[in-house]
Amino acid sequence: MPNLSSTLDTFPASRIAVVGDLMLDEYLWGHIERISPEAPVPILSVTHRASTLGGAGNVAENLRHWGATVTLIGVVGQDETAGQLRDLLQSRGVNAKGVLTDPLRKTTRKARLMSVEHGQQVFRLDEESTVTVKGEIENSLIGAIRTLDQNIQAIVCSDYLKGVLSEKVLAAVFEAARSRGIRCIVAPKDSSAEKYRGANILMPNSTELRQMTPQRASQDANQEAWLDASARSLVEALSLEALLVTRGSEGMSLFENSAGGLRRVDIPTMARSVYDVTGAGDTAIAAFSAAVASGADLGAAARLANLSAGIKVGKRGTACVDLEEIRTSLREVRAPHDSV
Protein backbone atom coordinates (compact mmCIF):
# COMPACT_ATOMS: atom_id res chain seq x y z
CA MET A 1 0.00 0.00 0.00
CA PRO A 2 1.23 3.50 -0.71
CA ASN A 3 2.81 5.60 1.98
CA LEU A 4 0.18 8.24 2.67
CA SER A 5 2.57 10.62 4.42
CA SER A 6 4.84 10.51 1.38
CA THR A 7 1.85 11.38 -0.80
CA LEU A 8 1.22 14.44 1.38
CA ASP A 9 4.83 15.47 0.77
CA THR A 10 4.07 15.71 -2.95
CA PHE A 11 1.08 18.05 -2.56
CA PRO A 12 3.18 21.25 -2.90
CA ALA A 13 4.46 20.08 -6.29
CA SER A 14 1.00 19.45 -7.75
CA ARG A 15 -0.41 21.69 -10.48
CA ILE A 16 -4.19 21.79 -10.65
CA ALA A 17 -6.83 23.75 -12.53
CA VAL A 18 -10.13 24.50 -10.77
CA VAL A 19 -13.17 25.44 -12.85
CA GLY A 20 -16.51 26.35 -11.33
CA ASP A 21 -18.77 28.56 -9.30
CA LEU A 22 -17.10 31.22 -7.15
CA MET A 23 -18.63 32.70 -4.03
CA LEU A 24 -17.79 34.80 -1.00
CA ASP A 25 -18.61 33.41 2.44
CA GLU A 26 -19.14 36.23 4.94
CA TYR A 27 -19.48 35.70 8.69
CA LEU A 28 -21.01 38.38 10.92
CA TRP A 29 -20.44 37.56 14.59
CA GLY A 30 -22.39 39.24 17.34
CA HIS A 31 -24.41 39.03 20.54
CA ILE A 32 -28.09 38.24 20.86
CA GLU A 33 -29.40 40.09 23.91
CA ARG A 34 -33.01 40.94 23.09
CA ILE A 35 -35.96 40.37 20.81
CA SER A 36 -36.94 42.96 18.22
CA PRO A 37 -39.94 45.12 19.13
CA GLU A 38 -40.89 45.08 15.44
CA ALA A 39 -41.27 41.32 15.09
CA PRO A 40 -40.66 38.17 17.20
CA VAL A 41 -37.09 37.77 16.00
CA PRO A 42 -33.75 38.10 17.83
CA ILE A 43 -31.52 41.15 17.30
CA LEU A 44 -27.89 40.34 16.50
CA SER A 45 -25.55 43.12 17.57
CA VAL A 46 -22.57 42.62 15.25
CA THR A 47 -19.13 42.87 16.84
CA HIS A 48 -16.89 41.62 14.03
CA ARG A 49 -17.01 40.12 10.57
CA ALA A 50 -14.80 38.03 8.34
CA SER A 51 -14.90 36.97 4.68
CA THR A 52 -13.52 33.80 3.13
CA LEU A 53 -13.50 32.11 -0.26
CA GLY A 54 -16.34 29.70 -0.97
CA GLY A 55 -17.23 27.21 -3.69
CA ALA A 56 -14.53 26.75 -6.32
CA GLY A 57 -12.56 29.48 -4.54
CA ASN A 58 -12.47 27.38 -1.38
CA VAL A 59 -11.19 24.38 -3.34
CA ALA A 60 -8.44 26.60 -4.78
CA GLU A 61 -7.62 28.03 -1.35
CA ASN A 62 -7.23 24.59 0.19
CA LEU A 63 -4.89 23.53 -2.60
CA ARG A 64 -2.84 26.71 -2.26
CA HIS A 65 -2.70 26.20 1.53
CA TRP A 66 -0.91 22.93 0.80
CA GLY A 67 1.50 24.64 -1.60
CA ALA A 68 -0.03 23.48 -4.89
CA THR A 69 0.04 25.67 -7.99
CA VAL A 70 -3.56 26.56 -8.82
CA THR A 71 -5.18 28.04 -11.92
CA LEU A 72 -8.76 29.17 -11.36
CA ILE A 73 -11.44 29.69 -14.01
CA GLY A 74 -14.85 31.15 -13.24
CA VAL A 75 -17.09 34.22 -13.45
CA VAL A 76 -17.86 37.10 -11.07
CA GLY A 77 -19.93 40.23 -11.39
CA GLN A 78 -18.78 43.83 -11.40
CA ASP A 79 -19.60 44.60 -7.77
CA GLU A 80 -18.09 45.03 -4.34
CA THR A 81 -18.31 41.30 -3.60
CA ALA A 82 -16.28 40.54 -6.72
CA GLY A 83 -13.59 42.97 -5.55
CA GLN A 84 -13.38 41.27 -2.17
CA LEU A 85 -13.22 37.88 -3.83
CA ARG A 86 -10.42 38.92 -6.19
CA ASP A 87 -8.44 40.42 -3.30
CA LEU A 88 -8.69 37.16 -1.38
CA LEU A 89 -7.60 35.13 -4.41
CA GLN A 90 -4.60 37.40 -4.94
CA SER A 91 -3.61 37.18 -1.26
CA ARG A 92 -3.72 33.36 -1.47
CA GLY A 93 -1.51 33.28 -4.55
CA VAL A 94 -4.13 31.79 -6.86
CA ASN A 95 -3.69 32.37 -10.59
CA ALA A 96 -7.05 34.05 -11.28
CA LYS A 97 -6.44 35.28 -14.83
CA GLY A 98 -9.23 32.95 -15.93
CA VAL A 99 -11.76 34.59 -13.61
CA LEU A 100 -13.94 36.64 -15.94
CA THR A 101 -16.13 39.66 -15.18
CA ASP A 102 -19.75 39.73 -16.27
CA PRO A 103 -21.24 43.20 -15.56
CA LEU A 104 -24.76 41.75 -15.75
CA ARG A 105 -24.07 39.14 -13.09
CA LYS A 106 -24.26 39.39 -9.31
CA THR A 107 -21.35 37.74 -7.54
CA THR A 108 -22.52 35.03 -5.15
CA ARG A 109 -22.33 36.12 -1.52
CA LYS A 110 -23.48 34.06 1.45
CA ALA A 111 -23.68 36.13 4.63
CA ARG A 112 -24.00 34.05 7.80
CA LEU A 113 -25.13 35.72 11.01
CA MET A 114 -23.38 33.98 13.91
CA SER A 115 -24.21 34.07 17.61
CA VAL A 116 -21.16 34.46 19.85
CA GLU A 117 -23.04 33.03 22.83
CA HIS A 118 -24.27 29.94 21.03
CA GLY A 119 -21.37 29.55 18.64
CA GLN A 120 -23.69 28.81 15.77
CA GLN A 121 -25.45 30.25 12.76
CA VAL A 122 -28.80 31.91 13.36
CA PHE A 123 -29.55 33.22 9.86
CA ARG A 124 -28.14 33.23 6.34
CA LEU A 125 -28.56 35.80 3.58
CA ASP A 126 -27.76 34.89 -0.04
CA GLU A 127 -27.15 37.25 -2.96
CA GLU A 128 -26.45 35.65 -6.31
CA SER A 129 -27.15 35.11 -9.99
CA THR A 130 -27.76 31.55 -11.12
CA VAL A 131 -28.48 32.04 -14.82
CA THR A 132 -26.36 29.72 -16.96
CA VAL A 133 -23.56 31.51 -18.81
CA LYS A 134 -23.96 31.99 -22.55
CA GLY A 135 -22.70 34.04 -25.46
CA GLU A 136 -19.42 35.90 -25.12
CA ILE A 137 -18.86 34.94 -21.46
CA GLU A 138 -19.36 31.23 -22.18
CA ASN A 139 -17.03 31.41 -25.19
CA SER A 140 -14.38 33.21 -23.13
CA LEU A 141 -14.56 30.51 -20.45
CA ILE A 142 -14.10 27.84 -23.10
CA GLY A 143 -11.14 29.77 -24.50
CA ALA A 144 -9.52 29.94 -21.06
CA ILE A 145 -10.00 26.19 -20.61
CA ARG A 146 -8.53 25.33 -24.00
CA THR A 147 -5.42 27.41 -23.31
CA LEU A 148 -4.69 25.93 -19.87
CA ASP A 149 -1.03 25.27 -19.18
CA GLN A 150 0.12 21.91 -20.54
CA ASN A 151 1.76 21.17 -17.18
CA ILE A 152 -1.59 20.91 -15.38
CA GLN A 153 -1.84 17.49 -13.69
CA ALA A 154 -5.57 17.39 -12.90
CA ILE A 155 -8.71 19.47 -13.43
CA VAL A 156 -11.38 19.92 -10.76
CA CYS A 157 -14.92 21.05 -11.57
CA SER A 158 -16.80 22.57 -8.65
CA ASP A 159 -20.49 22.76 -9.55
CA TYR A 160 -22.79 24.70 -7.22
CA LEU A 161 -25.44 25.29 -9.91
CA LYS A 162 -24.65 29.01 -10.10
CA GLY A 163 -24.44 28.87 -13.88
CA VAL A 164 -20.73 28.66 -14.72
CA LEU A 165 -20.55 24.98 -15.61
CA SER A 166 -22.79 24.89 -18.65
CA GLU A 167 -22.83 21.79 -20.83
CA LYS A 168 -20.51 23.47 -23.35
CA VAL A 169 -18.08 24.58 -20.63
CA LEU A 170 -18.02 21.08 -19.12
CA ALA A 171 -17.49 19.54 -22.58
CA ALA A 172 -14.47 21.84 -23.07
CA VAL A 173 -13.08 20.79 -19.68
CA PHE A 174 -13.47 17.09 -20.43
CA GLU A 175 -11.82 17.52 -23.83
CA ALA A 176 -8.94 19.47 -22.28
CA ALA A 177 -8.38 16.67 -19.76
CA ARG A 178 -8.49 13.98 -22.45
CA SER A 179 -6.09 15.82 -24.72
CA ARG A 180 -3.59 16.16 -21.86
CA GLY A 181 -4.04 12.61 -20.59
CA ILE A 182 -5.06 13.79 -17.12
CA ARG A 183 -8.10 13.20 -14.93
CA CYS A 184 -11.06 15.49 -14.50
CA ILE A 185 -12.72 15.21 -11.08
CA VAL A 186 -16.19 16.68 -10.65
CA ALA A 187 -18.17 17.68 -7.58
CA PRO A 188 -21.70 17.42 -9.08
CA LYS A 189 -24.85 19.22 -8.00
CA ASP A 190 -27.11 18.82 -11.04
CA SER A 191 -29.67 16.03 -10.91
CA SER A 192 -29.09 15.47 -14.64
CA ALA A 193 -26.23 12.98 -14.59
CA GLU A 194 -25.82 13.17 -18.38
CA LYS A 195 -24.40 16.66 -17.92
CA TYR A 196 -21.24 15.07 -16.49
CA ARG A 197 -20.60 12.53 -19.25
CA GLY A 198 -16.90 12.76 -20.08
CA ALA A 199 -15.66 13.20 -16.52
CA ASN A 200 -13.25 10.62 -15.12
CA ILE A 201 -14.39 10.72 -11.50
CA LEU A 202 -17.50 12.08 -9.78
CA MET A 203 -17.56 12.99 -6.07
CA PRO A 204 -21.23 13.33 -5.03
CA ASN A 205 -22.63 13.08 -1.54
CA SER A 206 -25.41 10.58 -0.82
CA THR A 207 -28.17 13.10 -1.52
CA GLU A 208 -26.64 14.14 -4.84
CA LEU A 209 -26.22 10.49 -5.86
CA ARG A 210 -29.88 9.88 -4.99
CA GLN A 211 -30.94 12.82 -7.17
CA MET A 212 -28.90 11.54 -10.12
CA THR A 213 -30.35 8.02 -9.85
CA PRO A 214 -33.99 8.62 -8.85
CA GLN A 215 -35.19 5.29 -10.16
CA ARG A 216 -33.16 3.59 -7.44
CA ALA A 217 -33.79 6.04 -4.64
CA SER A 218 -36.58 4.31 -2.72
CA GLN A 219 -36.44 5.32 0.94
CA ASP A 220 -37.66 1.82 1.89
CA ALA A 221 -34.82 0.03 0.18
CA ASN A 222 -31.81 -1.37 2.02
CA GLN A 223 -29.35 1.52 1.97
CA GLU A 224 -26.26 -0.58 1.24
CA ALA A 225 -28.02 -2.38 -1.60
CA TRP A 226 -29.30 0.98 -2.88
CA LEU A 227 -25.80 2.44 -2.76
CA ASP A 228 -24.30 -0.49 -4.69
CA ALA A 229 -27.04 -0.42 -7.32
CA SER A 230 -26.96 3.36 -7.73
CA ALA A 231 -23.18 3.50 -7.97
CA ARG A 232 -23.08 0.71 -10.54
CA SER A 233 -25.83 2.37 -12.55
CA LEU A 234 -24.06 5.73 -12.64
CA VAL A 235 -20.59 4.33 -13.35
CA GLU A 236 -21.91 2.25 -16.23
CA ALA A 237 -24.17 4.98 -17.64
CA LEU A 238 -21.39 7.59 -17.75
CA SER A 239 -18.43 5.23 -18.33
CA LEU A 240 -16.75 6.61 -15.21
CA GLU A 241 -13.35 5.52 -14.00
CA ALA A 242 -14.56 5.88 -10.42
CA LEU A 243 -17.22 7.28 -8.14
CA LEU A 244 -16.39 8.55 -4.64
CA VAL A 245 -19.51 9.00 -2.50
CA THR A 246 -19.25 11.10 0.65
CA ARG A 247 -21.66 9.75 3.27
CA GLY A 248 -21.42 12.08 6.26
CA SER A 249 -21.12 10.14 9.53
CA GLU A 250 -20.67 6.91 7.54
CA GLY A 251 -17.49 8.15 5.86
CA MET A 252 -16.91 7.57 2.16
CA SER A 253 -17.39 4.76 -0.34
CA LEU A 254 -15.14 4.46 -3.38
CA PHE A 255 -16.42 2.57 -6.42
CA GLU A 256 -13.58 1.94 -8.86
CA ASN A 257 -13.97 0.44 -12.32
CA SER A 258 -11.42 -2.35 -12.67
CA ALA A 259 -10.73 -5.32 -14.93
CA GLY A 260 -12.46 -7.52 -12.37
CA GLY A 261 -15.55 -5.36 -12.27
CA LEU A 262 -16.70 -2.57 -9.99
CA ARG A 263 -14.67 -2.61 -6.78
CA ARG A 264 -16.09 -1.02 -3.62
CA VAL A 265 -13.97 0.26 -0.74
CA ASP A 266 -15.67 1.70 2.35
CA ILE A 267 -13.71 4.24 4.38
CA PRO A 268 -15.11 4.99 7.88
CA THR A 269 -15.38 8.60 8.99
CA MET A 270 -12.43 10.09 10.83
CA ALA A 271 -14.41 13.00 12.29
CA ARG A 272 -14.21 13.15 16.09
CA SER A 273 -16.54 16.09 16.51
CA VAL A 274 -18.66 18.08 14.10
CA TYR A 275 -18.84 21.84 14.57
CA ASP A 276 -19.43 23.03 11.03
CA VAL A 277 -19.81 21.08 7.78
CA THR A 278 -19.37 24.23 5.65
CA GLY A 279 -16.69 23.60 3.03
CA ALA A 280 -16.05 19.97 4.00
CA GLY A 281 -16.82 18.80 0.46
CA ASP A 282 -14.44 21.42 -0.97
CA THR A 283 -11.68 20.21 1.36
CA ALA A 284 -12.33 16.59 0.41
CA ILE A 285 -12.16 17.15 -3.35
CA ALA A 286 -9.07 19.34 -2.94
CA ALA A 287 -7.23 16.60 -1.04
CA PHE A 288 -8.43 13.90 -3.42
CA SER A 289 -7.36 15.85 -6.51
CA ALA A 290 -3.97 16.79 -5.03
CA ALA A 291 -3.30 13.12 -4.28
CA VAL A 292 -4.46 12.03 -7.74
CA ALA A 293 -2.31 14.72 -9.37
CA SER A 294 0.63 13.46 -7.35
CA GLY A 295 0.23 9.95 -8.75
CA ALA A 296 -1.45 8.25 -5.79
CA ASP A 297 -3.88 5.41 -6.44
CA LEU A 298 -7.55 6.23 -5.99
CA GLY A 299 -7.86 4.31 -2.73
CA ALA A 300 -5.05 6.30 -1.12
CA ALA A 301 -6.46 9.54 -2.51
CA ALA A 302 -9.89 8.71 -1.06
CA ARG A 303 -8.41 7.97 2.39
CA LEU A 304 -6.60 11.30 2.42
CA ALA A 305 -9.79 13.07 1.31
CA ASN A 306 -11.70 11.38 4.13
CA LEU A 307 -9.09 12.33 6.73
CA SER A 308 -9.01 15.93 5.55
CA ALA A 309 -12.80 16.27 5.62
CA GLY A 310 -12.90 14.70 9.08
CA ILE A 311 -10.52 17.36 10.38
CA LYS A 312 -12.35 20.14 8.54
CA VAL A 313 -15.75 19.54 10.17
CA GLY A 314 -14.09 20.07 13.55
CA LYS A 315 -13.27 23.66 12.55
CA ARG A 316 -15.47 26.75 12.31
CA GLY A 317 -16.26 28.26 8.91
CA THR A 318 -14.17 27.44 5.86
CA ALA A 319 -10.87 27.22 7.76
CA CYS A 320 -8.20 25.26 5.88
CA VAL A 321 -6.70 22.01 7.10
CA ASP A 322 -2.92 21.95 7.60
CA LEU A 323 -0.79 19.17 6.14
CA GLU A 324 0.64 18.59 9.62
CA GLU A 325 -2.89 18.08 10.97
CA ILE A 326 -3.42 15.36 8.36
CA ARG A 327 -0.09 13.75 9.26
CA THR A 328 -1.04 13.76 12.93
CA SER A 329 -4.35 12.13 12.10
CA LEU A 330 -2.53 9.50 10.05
CA ARG A 331 -0.25 8.68 12.98
CA GLU A 332 -3.25 8.39 15.28
CA VAL A 333 -5.32 6.04 13.15
CA ARG A 334 -2.48 3.87 11.81
CA ALA A 335 -4.84 1.53 10.06
CA PRO A 336 -3.10 -1.85 9.57
CA HIS A 337 -3.62 -1.78 5.80
CA ASP A 338 -2.03 1.66 5.45
CA SER A 339 1.64 2.54 5.50
CA VAL A 340 2.19 5.93 7.18
Q: Is 220 marked active-site?
A: no
As a whole number of angstroms, the distance between CA 247 and CA 180 comes to 32
- Kindly name the residue from 21, 25, 159, 282 that is annotated as catalytic: 282
Spell out the SS3 assignment of the chain: CCEHHHHHHCHHHCEEEEEECEEEEEEEEEEEEEECCCCCCEEEEEEEEEEEEEEHHHHHHHHHHCCCEEEEEEEECCCHHHHHHHHHHHHHCCEEEEEEECCCCCCEEEEEEEECCCCEEEEEEEECCCCCCCHHHHHHHHHHHHCCCCCCCEEEEECCCCCCCCHHHHHHHHHHHHHHCCEEEEECCCCCHHHHCCCCEECCEHHHHHHHCHHHCCCCCCHHHHHHHHHHHHHHHHCCCEEEEECHHHCEEEEEEECCEEEEEEECCCCCCCCCCCCHHHHHHHHHHHHHHCCCCHHHHHHHHHHHHHHHCCCCCCCCCCHHHHHHHHHHHCCCCCEC
Task: Report the catalytic residues.
Answer: 282
